[in-house]
Amino acid sequence: MPNELTEAIVDMREDEALGLVKSMLDAGADPTEVLEQAKEAMTELGRRFECEEAFIPELIMGGEIMRRISEELKPHLKGGGAGENRGTVVIGTVHGDIHDIGKDIVVMMLDINGYEVHDLGVDVPAEQFIAAIREHDAKVVGLSGLLTLAFDSMKSTIAAIAAAGLRDQVKIMVGGAPADQQVQDYTGSDGWGNDVGQALRLCAAWTGSEES
């Protein structure tokens, strides 16, 4: 593990992890960097789960620690879009994947930065994405997943959106720790990201709300 915070989360030492976060903030650390360090722990837990070195209880506990850390960091994370609607985003973890920590962080940061975000939750079927796009007239769709098995679900979800006649209406990004250009090409998405900053940049570019 590259840092104390990541180690504490992976080892389920909740009080220590929260104490480290507070100490880092008190010392003037960039809250975004603290968030990235915490995310590394969830990536490691996801890897261990796929390798059967960790199990559902560990994922749940790690997720709870991450939520508490996110709440601690939220007041320190400054957005640039307060008071305005910079665009509508529909986001969810695709069918077959129940991981929501990375998604929840992206949702939080999009909200802070002035986007109208509709979070569909986890294990979301394609039909639910399609219904949400229509209901909210969304311009951006985020498909999240931590496990590599999510790639097929992302691909089939995008195909279903296209079959519903909505593909030209939306820009679609795929996200999660394993996401890369190869995953974008395989799924047929318009972009990919494995960190919050990339998700924000894609949304800003696609909604025409980039900072001048």
* Domain map (residue ranges) of the chain: 4-76, 88-207
Could you tell me if 170 and 157 are in contact, meaning their C-beta atoms sit under 8 angstroms apart?
A: no
Beta sheet of 171-175, edge-to-edge order: 116-119, 88-93, 140-144, 171-175, 191-193
pLDDT of residue 79: 61
Torsion (CA) 173, 185, 178, 95 in degrees, nearest 10: 60
Q: What is the largest CA-CA distance in the chain?
A: 52
Of the candidates 100, 156, 148, which has an alpha carbon nearest to the alpha carbon of residue 125? 156
Matching CATH number, 88-207, of 3.30.160.110, 3.40.50.280, 3.40.50.2300, 3.40.30.10: 3.40.50.280
Of the candidates 81, 89, 86, 84, which has an alpha carbon nearest to the alpha carbon of residue 171? 89
pTM of the model: 0.73
d(CA 16, CA 39): 16
d(CA 54, CA 170): 37
pLDDT one digit per residue (tens) for the chain, 212 residues: 458 999 999 999 999 999 999 999 999 999 988 988 888 887 788 788 778 898 878 878 888 898 899 889 888 876 655 456 889 999 999 999 988 878 988 888 898 788 999 999 999 999 999 999 999 999 999 999 988 889 999 999 999 999 999 999 999 999 998 899 999 999 999 999 988 889 989 999 999 876 43
pLDDT of residue 101: 78
Could you tell me if 114 and 80 are in contact, meaning their C-beta atoms sit under 8 angstroms apart?
A: yes
pLDDT of residue 84: 65
- The CATH code belonging to domain 4-76 is 1.10.1240.10
